[in-house]
Amino acid sequence: MASSSDPLNEELQCSICLDVFTDPVTTPCGHNFCRTCLNKCWTNTQTCCCPLCKEKFSNHLDLEINTTLRKLVQHFKKVDQEKSEVFCDFCDERKQKAMKSCLTCQSSYCETHLEPHHRVPRLKKHKLINAVKNLEDYICQKHERPLELFCRDDQTCVCLSCTEGDHRNHNTVPIEEESQQKKSELLKMMEEQQKAAEKQAEDLIKELQQEITDLKRNTEEEKSGSVELFTDLIRPIERRQSELLKMMEEQQKAAEKQAEDLIKELQQEITDLKRRNTELEQLSHTDDHLHLLQVYSSLYSLSHTKNWIEISTDSDVDVFTLKRALTLLKEQLNEKLSQTGLKWAQKFAVDATLDPDTANPYLILSNDGKQVSEGDIKQDIPENPKRFDVGLCVLAMEGFSSGRFYYEVQVKGKTEWDLGVARESINRKGLFRLNPVNGFWTVGLRNDNQYIACENPSVSLSLKVKPEKVGVFVDYEEGLVSFYDVGSRSHIYSFTGQTFTDKLYSYFSPGHNDEGKNSNPLIITPVS
């Protein structure tokens, strides 16, 4: 076989067994493999796919042998075998294959020319080995004698003449003896490595099994927690729904009773009108003028009836009351959702620490890397590519390129600050604007009471209370950055639908000192 560095050899190698092809087959995607190797790969699999490019094929794929490639492989093997064959040094015409090489004569012999070494007493003493092409490797280059001994002091093969010179008094043994010992050591080492590999595999299996168990337990806990959280969310909705339905039913009953009472009153009014109408009809035909005048006044006053157009029932539900109840329910639900979101986000808390190599020279960091504020004097610190030279900010030491993370920062007593995350490749030299286009996802405070989300353009935020501690949550895969008021457990703002490609770092800017008005530091606090 050709050497591994031979380009032709690499092209004729199966990528599964790493040997020259045996019965090569070609997949529809154009890759070649040994037929046996490919069938082993496809054993007990639901779908067949290429081991190299992973392209999927039909489950009933039956590949034919690539006869052209097989012929090429056979020719290659034949040429490679011919290259590795050793020929007799004494054949005159057609060279015969050598059977043995003589280290004393430093020649190789076919079966015919080897015969004297089996017959002549002097030649019988010569050192014969299986025919080799690189015979010079078995000969001492200094004394031109066979390398028959191994020097354990210098760990090298030597001849007898070497033991009388440079290797005098060295611990030398026959090569065969050292070879056997090395074989024993190699077998022992292989056995130990196999045992170590088996133990490592067993430990890994146990570890994976434990991880599966922990994952199942954590999943059940998460499911239980989610059910509990959603139950807490649904319960006030159901209670409000019951209250609203009860109120509507009571208003409906009241309206029905009012309508029934009015119907009775109206029916009585109709009866009275009919009676008075009959009396008036009779009076209009009387000839007793004195009697008519005497009773006219009383009958006229009775003829005025209620204005029924102005009378109505309260049949409609009190819209204002209903709207107010729904608004209150919405506020309570939003508050509950914010609390639930914060509680869930806090599960992904990380221990953030400020990176002094990124801090602006005017910033002062605490020894534990948890506090930052602006100082009045520029500090004498070394310049480096990571450091902000104009922006009054600092990043955390830990970066994240996947998953979720959360941290909390105390902003109590400050009149200006910015918090959030920034991508690793942001511009750290000169001025820059805080917005997602430039790689910043932050919210901030200006002039003691103006809260903004640093979008492009910025968004003004209306907060009911002034946060004393702000929580920042990031879901890398979802492209989400959310901010919470930890004290009131309410949601402040979220950047959604973002695409993150760089590593993200927590971002902190304590703002200018403002003659002591904004001297309080930003403090990274433990998540409780």
Q: Are strands 404-410 and 490-495 parallel, antiparallel or unpaired?
A: unpaired
The pLDDT, as a whole number, for residue 64 is: 86
Q: For residue 470, which of 512, 394, 412 has the smallest C-alpha distance? A: 412
The pLDDT, as a whole number, for residue 2 is: 39
Contact in structure between 56 and 27 (CB atoms under 8 Å):
no
Q: Three-state DSSP class for 525? A: strand
pTM of the entire predicted model: 0.45
Q: For residue 412, which of 510, 512, 505 has the smallest C-alpha distance? A: 510
Using CA atoms, how far apart are residues 489 and 63, in angstroms rounded to an integer? Answer: 64
Q: Three-state DSSP class for 422? A: strand
Q: Three-state DSSP class for 233? A: helix
The torsion of the CA quartet 90, 92, 93, 95, rounded to 10 degrees, works out to 10
| Phi then psi dihedrals of residue 380, to 5 deg | -85, 90
Contact in structure between 151 and 170 (CB atoms under 8 Å):
yes
| Phi then psi dihedrals of residue 192, to 5 deg | -65, -40
Amino acid sitting at position 438: N
Per-residue pLDDT of the chain (528 residues; tens, 9 = 90+): 334 445 556 778 888 888 888 889 988 888 899 988 888 888 777 678 888 888 887 766 778 888 888 888 888 877 766 666 888 988 887 888 888 988 888 889 998 899 899 899 998 888 888 888 888 888 888 888 888 899 999 999 998 889 988 898 899 999 889 989 988 888 888 888 888 878 887 888 888 889 888 889 888 888 887 788 788 778 877 887 888 888 888 888 888 888 888 888 888 878 877 787 777 777 666 666 566 665 555 555 555 555 555 555 444 444 455 556 555 555 555 555 555 668 888 889 999 999 999 999 999 999 999 999 998 889 989 999 999 999 999 999 999 999 999 999 999 999 999 999 999 999 999 899 999 999 999 999 999 999 999 998 999 999 989 999 999 999 999 999 999 999 988 899 999 999 999 999 999 999 999 889 999 999 999 998
Alpha carbon distances (Å) from 11 to 8, 15, 20, 31? 5, 10, 9, 11
For 128-197, the DSSP string reads EEE--S-GGGGB-TTT-SB--EEETTTTEEE-TGGGGTTTTTS-EEEHHHHHHHHHHHHHHHHHHHHHHH
The pLDDT, as a whole number, for residue 1 is: 38
Using CA atoms, how far apart are residues 103 and 111, in angstroms rounded to an integer? Answer: 16
Contact in structure between 388 and 394 (CB atoms under 8 Å):
yes
Contact in structure between 425 and 502 (CB atoms under 8 Å):
yes
475: Cα within 13 Å, side-chain hemisphere: 15
In 10 A of CB 420, how many CB atoms?
25
DSSP state of 97: B
Burial code of 436-448, b = ≥16 C-beta within 10 A, e = fewer? beebbbbbbbeee
Using CA atoms, how far apart are residues 317 and 244, in angstroms rounded to an integer? Answer: 10
Contact in structure between 424 and 523 (CB atoms under 8 Å):
no
Query: Please, which residues have CB within 8 angstroms of residue 168's CB and are 6 or more apart in sequence?
Result: none
The torsion of the CA quartet 212, 214, 220, 223, rounded to 10 degrees, works out to -100
